Amino acid sequence: MSRDRKIEVGALRRLFRRMGPHLKNHRRKLTLGFLAMIGVALAEIMRPWPIKVVFDGILIPQENPDAVTGWLMSVFGNGDFLLGAMAAAILGIALLGGAMGFMQAYMIAAVGQKVVAQIRLDLYRHVHRLSHSFHDTASSGDIIARLTGDVRMMRDLLIDAVVFFAARILVILLTIGVMLWMDWRLTLVALAILPALWLITRYFGKRIKGAARKQRRKEGKIAVVMTEGISSINVVKGFAREAYEEQRFAKQNNSSAEAGVVTTRLAANMDRVTQVLLALGTAVVVWFGVTQVRAGEISPGDLLVFTAYLSSLYKPIRKMASMTARVAKATASGERLLEIFDLEPEVADHPGAKELDKRAYGWVLFEDVSFSYADSAQVLEKVDLELVPGEVTALVGPSGAGKSTVGRLLMRFYDPEEGHIHIDGWDVRDLTLDSLRSNIAVVLQDSVLFGTSVRDNIAYGRLDATEEEIFAAAKAAEADNFIRALPDGYDTILGERGETLSGGQRQRIAIARAILRDAPILILDEPLSGLDPATAKSLLVSLRRAAAGRTTLLVAHDDLTLSLADHVYCVENCKLVETPPDGRSLSA
C-alpha cells in the first residue's frame, strides 16, 4: 500500500471511529434504509426478465424454455394473457423499485442530515471549549469553513459513500450470481473486461482524488479571505482597499476553480475511456452470445437478459471511480475536522476541580506569577499583586507591557508558567472554569455586542434576569434613557457587533451587562479609551456604581479613569511597581 493510501485509510478509520457513534442513534432508520436497498437491488435484477419471457414465450417460442418461463407459460399460455401478465410485471417491478428507492433515499437522507447537524454541534461546542492559545492564532474564516462546508462533506462520506458502496456491491454480486446461473461461459466473457476497467478506474481515480483534495483545501482558503474581507469592511473602505481585497479573493477563487476544472477534466476523460471499454465488452458478449444462441445453447431471451445485466454490472463499477473522488474530497474535509477535534484545550478543569461559591468573597492574590505567550518574550516575571474586595486596583504602564494580561490570567484564559493565582485562598487551577468565570464580570475597551435585541445584550450577563433587573442595570449604567429613545426601545435589534450604536452607547450597554452579572470581581480594561472627554466623564459615574462593593481590576491610561482607583501599580519590564498618587503621570 502506498504511503498516501495508508494515510487515507488511517484517516478514514479515525473518522468513522469518531463520527460513527452518531449513527448508532439512528439504527431503525438505517436498517429500513438497508432493507430498501436490498429491494432496489432485487428490482434491478428482475427488470429484464419480463421481456425475456415475452421473447422466449411469445415472440420466438422455445421448445425447452427455462424453468421460470416454462412455469409462466403453463399458467398463462403463450398468448395475450402472458403478454398482459408480463406488461403488468414490468410496471410492478418499476413501482417496487421506485418505492424502495424512495424509501432508501428518504431514510438515508434523514439520518445524514441529523448526523451532520450533530457533528456540527459537537465541533461548535469543541471550538468554544478550546483555549485562547488556539483562538489567538486560528482564523475565524477557516473555522467557519470547517463548520459549514467540511461538515457537509462528511455526509458524503458517512452516509452516501457507505450506502453507495454497499448498494453497488450488492447489485454486482447478485448480477454475477444470476449470470453464472444462466450461462457461466457467457458470464466469463462478460467479466473479462473487468480487470481492464478496474485498472482504468484506479489510474484515473488516484489522480482525481489528488485534485479533489487540493480543491477542497483551496475552498477552505477562500473562506478565510472572504471572512477577513467582510468582517473588516470598515478598514477596507477606510483605506480604499476594495480593489486590493478583490484581487486577494480573485486569486484564491481562481486557483480553486482551476483545481475544480482539473477534477472535472479527469472525470470526463475517465468516463470516455470506460465508455469505449464498455462498448467493447458489450460487443464481445453480443458476438459470443449470438453464436451461443445459434448453437442452441441459450435462448434469444437469455441473451437479452445478459446484455441488460451488462449495464447493471459495468455502470456501478464506472460510478465507483467517481464516487472514490467524492470520498477523497470528503476525507480531506474529514481530516480538517479531525485536526480541530484532536486539539485539547490547554486550560481545562482538573479532575476533582472545586466549585467556587456562587458568590465568592473576591479576595485575589497573585504570588510570584511569571508568564509569557507561546514562543513570545516574557510578559510578567515573579509578579505579586493583591486585589482587595471593595477596592479598585489600577494597572498603568506602557503599551504592550502586560496590563491586560493580568486580567486574562485572572480569568484563566491562560495559566501562568510559574507562581499561583488565588481567589479566596483557592488556586484558580483547582476551581472549575465555569464557577471561576461566573464570579467575574468584564468591561473591555471595545465591548462586543451581539446582533440581537438590546435586552438580550444586557441579559447576556445573567440569562435568568427579570425584566426589572435588566431595567435597573440599564438605569445604573445611565443607559435607560437612550435605550427607550431607540425605535423599539429594549427590543431594538442591533447591527452586527452592535455597530448601529455609538461607542459611548455600546460601552453603557456593556457596563449594564456587567452590573447585571453582579459578580464579586470586575475587570475594567480601558473602559473609557477611544471616547470623547465629555462622554468619558459621564460614563465615569456608571463605572463607579458598577465597581461599588466589588474587587475591581482596572487597566487604564488616562487620569480621568484613574480617578476611580484606590491603588495604582505600574507594569514595566515584566514587574509591578506600586506608584504613588503623583506617579499617575506614568500612564501618560
Ligand X SMILES: Nc1ncnc2c1ncn2[C@@H]1O[C@H](COP(=O)(O)OP(=O)(O)OP(=O)(O)O)[C@@H](O)[C@H]1O
Q: Which is nearer to ligand X, 442 or 479 (CB)?
A: 442
- Least Å distance, CB 532 to ligand X, is 20
- Grid-cell match 422455445, residue found: 62
Q: Which of 4, 80, 136, 417 binds ligand X (CB under 6 A)?
A: 136
Judged by CB under 6 A, how many residues of this single chain contact ligand X?
12
Q: Which helix (H) or strand (E) holds 386?
A: strand 378-387
Contact segment (CB under 6 A) with ligand X among 6-14, 172-180, 400-408, 499-507 equals 400-408
C-alpha distance from residue 527 to each of 269, 575, 587 (Å): 63, 23, 15
All cell numbers assigned to 305: 437478459
Among 215, 263, 404, 579, binds ligand X (CB under 6 A): 404
CB within 8 Å of 537: residues ≥ 6 apart: 560
CB of 406 to ligand X, least distance (A): 7
Quote the CA–CA distance of 462 and 505 in Å, as a whole number: 20
Nearer to ligand X, 45 or 383 (CB): 383
Give the nearest distance from C-beta 574 to ligand X in angstroms: 10
Angstrom distance (rounded) from CA 352 to CA 430: 8
Rule CB under 6 A: is residue 542 a binding residue for ligand X? no
Tell me whether residue 316 or residue 397 sits nearer to ligand X (CB atom). 397
**CA atoms of 431 and 352, how far apart (whole Å):** 9
- Whose Cβ is closer to ligand X: residue 127's or residue 298's? 127
Pick between residue 155 and residue 412 the one whose CB is nearest to ligand X: 412
Euclidean distance between CA atoms 284 and 288, whole angstroms: 6
Q: How far is the CB of 577 from ligand X (least distance, A)?
A: 14
By CB under 6 A, is residue 368 in contact with ligand X? no
Per-residue x/- track, 89-128, ligand X (CB under 6 A): ----------------------------------------
Using the contact rule CB under 6 A, the part of the chain among 29-37, 50-58, 176-184, 402-410 near ligand X is: 402-410
When asked if residue 530 is in the footprint of ligand X (CB under 6 A), the reply is: no
User: Residue 278 to residues 74, 275, 468: CA-CA distances in angstroms?
Assistant: 38, 5, 76
Grid look-up 476544472 returns 261
- Number of CB atoms found within 10 A of residue 1's CB: 8
- Closer Cβ to ligand X, 479 or 564, answer by number: 564
Q: Between 256 and 587, name the residue whose CB sits nearer to ligand X.
A: 587
The stretch near ligand X (CB under 6 A) out of 245-253, 340-348, 399-407, 577-585 is 399-407
Sheet with 551-555: list strands edge to edge.
Answer: 440-443, 521-525, 551-555, 392-396, 567-572, 575-578
- Residue closer to ligand X by CB (options 97, 402) is 402
* Choice between 28 and 135, CB closer to ligand X: 135
Q: How many helices (H) and strands (E) does the chain have?
A: 23, 10
Candidates 33, 97, 301, 402: give the one binding ligand X (CB under 6 A).
402
Q: How far is CA 276 from the centre of its chain?
A: 41
Burial class of residue 136 (count of CB atoms within 10 Å of its CB; 0-12, 13-18, 19+) = exposed
454 interacts with ligand X by CB under 6 A = no
Q: Does 234 bind ligand X (CB under 6 A)?
A: no
Minimum distance of ligand X from residue 206's CB (angstroms): 42
Pick from 409, 178, 493, 450: nearest CA to 312: 178
**Site membership for ligand X, residue 405 (CB under 6 A):** yes
Give yes or no for residue 412 binding ligand X (CB under 6 A).
no
Q: Is 399 in the site for ligand X (CB under 6 A)?
A: yes
Smallest separation, CB 399 to ligand X (Å) = 3
Name which of 186 and 379 has its Cβ closer to ligand X: 379
Q: Which stretch binds ligand X (CB under 6 A): 80-88, 122-130, 280-288, 372-380?
A: 372-380
Dihedral sign, Cα of residue 419, residue 137, residue 121, residue 157 = negative
Tell me the CB-side half-sphere exposure of residue 66, using CA atoms within 13 A: 18
Query: Which is closer to ligand X, CB of 64 or CB of 399?
Result: 399
Determine which residue in the list 21, 400, 533, 583 makes contact with ligand X, applying CB under 6 A: 400
Give every strand in the sheet of 418-423, ordered side by side. Answer: 378-387, 364-372, 418-423, 426-427
Residues 375-394 close enough to bind ligand X by CB under 6 A: 376, 379
Choose which of 22, 52, 168, 403 interacts with ligand X (CB under 6 A): 403
DSSP string, 142-168: HHHHIIIIIHHHHHIIIIIIHHHHHHH
Comparison of 139 and 432: residue with beta carbon closer to ligand X:
139
* 150, 122 Cβ separation under 8 angstroms: no
Asked if 576 is part of the footprint of ligand X (rule: CB under 6 A), the reply reads no
Cα 446–Cα 404–Cα 575 angle in degrees, nearest 5: 155
Instruction: Considering only the stretches 42-50, 161-169, 199-207, 398-406, report the one whose residues sit in contact with ligand X under the rule CB under 6 A.
Output: 398-406
What minimum distance in Å lies between the beta carbon of 435 and ligand X? 25
SS3 content of the chain, % helix, strand, coil (to 5): 65, 10, 25
Residue 373 in the binding site for ligand X (CB under 6 A): yes
Q: Which of 89, 401, 494, 553: binder of ligand X (CB under 6 A)? A: 401
| Shorter beta-carbon distance to ligand X: residue 379 or 458 | 379
Which residue's C-alpha cell is 476541580? 353
H-type alpha helices, 232-299: 233-238, 242-294
Interface with ligand X (CB under 6 A): 136, 373, 376, 379, 397, 399-405
